[in-house]
Amino acid sequence: MKVYVHKDSTIRDVCDIREERYYSVEYLKTLPDNTIQIIPIKYDDTYFLDYIKQSNATIILENLVEGGDTFMRMLDNQGLLKGALNGRYATISSGELPESINNFNTNYMMYKTAEVNEHNKYVAYSRHERDYDFLFLNNRPRAHRVKLIKQLEKQGLLESALWTNITEGRRLPREFEKNDITFESLIDWQRWDAGECIIPQYFDTYFSLQAESSVLHRYSFFTEKTWKPIIANHNWITLGAQNHYDELRKLGYEVPKWEWTNLERWQDRLKGCIEQIKIQKEYGLHQWEIDTRPERRHNQDVFWKQYDEYYWTTRQELEQWFSDLGGDIY
């Protein structure tokens, strides 16, 4: 079967598909049933829904900037999750999904984060004392982030942090921000300020705390929040999915072995995250930084090697995945 890709699909960033295989909205319904059709889906775009649900073609639902429970929530909102779970649709995303879904995980967010940080390759270790304990950047007010902020405030841990809550108007001091950054520029994929490491933020803090986008299930989804501390040679503590730390370890990264990271309930992982901050502060943040220099450099090496190999590795794996579906991409 031939593989056809919607002209707005992001998959063209990671796979060379012949130009005549890109279709417009008008061309969609003229394609025969014995084809594989990659259709991009978004939270606010329901244009394709009727066609997706009525088509007899092999449909692949694609969104390369979502993964884990954020992607499943989007599928559910559009009435497509059941079809994905029972094998009616395959998916291409940027994270893990349940085993019953035939999903190709592109890890595209790693690629995009590296792309906007090529000028920040191999950031050096900074030896000086820092004014802040940790960096904690927040944009969208997801429930677990709101709760984490409240708990950190309650326990006085944000008093020594460099942190934001953009939707509530809390921004960084001017010297730590780009002058023209806006809410829109943080999420605009043409500019994507959220993906760029602003190095002074990291040089004046000892570690990064991040609440990843996906925490509800065990399925990991690595966004720029995971990759930026690695790029910036920073220690980090992450509230993520249950599999977050284990999946990073499988990719070759040196990852702390903290018991709370594998707890099933995200609320318990949140408590563990806060306790870990206290443990590291008591141990000594500067000493923690000294102790982990080899691991941080190793992680930088792994990250940039994976970025350098991303295009060809992903292309080969994607070709095999299409072949397993019975698809001919060329």
Report the CATH number that the domain containing residue 220 is assigned in CATH: 3.40.50
**Residue 323 maps to a domain:** no
Task: Please compute the mean of the pLDDT values over residues 89-102 and round it to a whole number.
Answer: 96
Which of these, 192, 158, 161, 196, lies nearest to 177 by C-alpha position?
A: 196
Percent of the chain with pLDDT over 90: 69
Same domain, 165 and 244: yes
Same domain, 173 and 282: yes
Q: Which amino acid is located at 175 in the chain?
A: E
Whether pLDDT at 51 is above 90? no
- The predicted pLDDT at position 239 comes to 98
Whether pLDDT at 166 is above 60? yes
- The predicted pLDDT at position 184 comes to 59
pLDDT band at 43 (very low <50, low <70, confident <90, very high): confident
Q: Looking at 87, 106, 125, which one is the last position of a domain?
A: 106
Tell me the residue range of the domain where 197 lies. Answer: 112-308
Contacts of 188 (CB under 8 A, 6+ apart): none
DSSP codes joined into one string, 159-185: TTEEE-BGGGTB---GGGS-TT--HHH
Task: Please compute the mean of the pLDDT values over residues 303-309 and round it to a whole number.
Answer: 97
Instruction: Pick left, alpha or beta for residue 87 (phi over 0 → left; psi -120 to 50 → alpha; otherwise beta).
Output: left
- The predicted pLDDT at position 313 comes to 93
Helices assigned H by DSSP within the chain: 25-28, 49-54, 68-77, 81-85, 108-115, 143-154, 183-187, 199-203, 224-231, 244-250, 266-283, 285-291, 293-324
Percent of the chain with pLDDT over 70: 93
Rounded Cα gap, residues 20 and 227, in angstroms: 35
- The predicted pLDDT at position 86 comes to 97
pLDDT band at 139 (very low <50, low <70, confident <90, very high): confident
- The predicted pLDDT at position 141 comes to 87
Which carries the bigger pLDDT value, residue 41 or residue 180? 41
Contacts of 273 (CB under 8 A, 6+ apart): 148, 209, 237, 238, 239, 260
Same domain, 69 and 167: no
Same domain, 156 and 291: yes
> Where does residue 154 rank: exposed (0-12), middle (13-18), buried (19+ CB within 10 A)?
exposed
Rounded Cα gap, residues 201 and 199, in angstroms: 5
Q: Which amino acid is located at 21 in the chain?
A: R
Same domain, 101 and 119: no
201: tokens are 């933020």
Rounded Cα gap, residues 11 and 26, in angstroms: 20
Task: Please compute the mean of the pLDDT values over residues 216-245 and round it to a whole number.
Answer: 96
Same domain, 173 and 279: yes
Task: Please compute the mean of the pLDDT values over residues 181-187 and round it to a whole number.
Answer: 59
* Domains of the chain: total: 2
**Residue 319 maps to a domain:** no
Task: Please compute the mean of the pLDDT values over residues 104-129 and round it to a whole number.
Answer: 91
Which of these, 94, 36, 85, lies nearest to 322 by C-alpha position?
A: 36
Question: What sign does the CA torsion over 172, 142, 50, 1 have?
Answer: positive
Same domain, 41 and 150: no
Same domain, 234 and 86: no
**Residue 324 maps to a domain:** no
Residue-wise pLDDT for 249-291, tens only, equals 999 999 999 999 999 999 999 999 999 999 999 999 999 999 9
pLDDT band at 172 (very low <50, low <70, confident <90, very high): very high
Task: Please compute the mean of the pLDDT values over residues 161-168 and round it to a whole number.
Answer: 92
**Residue 329 maps to a domain:** no
Same domain, 9 and 32: yes
- The predicted pLDDT at position 191 comes to 65
Same domain, 176 and 210: yes
Whether pLDDT at 16 is above 70? no
Diameter of the chain by CA atoms? 65
Q: Which amino acid is located at 245 in the chain?
A: Y
Same domain, 84 and 213: no
**Residue 330 maps to a domain:** no
Same domain, 11 and 155: no
**Residue 141 maps to a domain:** yes
Q: Looking at 48, 77, 106, which one is the last position of a domain?
A: 106
- The predicted pLDDT at position 160 comes to 97
Residue-wise pLDDT for 70-84, tens only, equals 999 999 999 999 999
Only one residue has tokens 């995250």, namely 273
pLDDT band at 44 (very low <50, low <70, confident <90, very high): confident
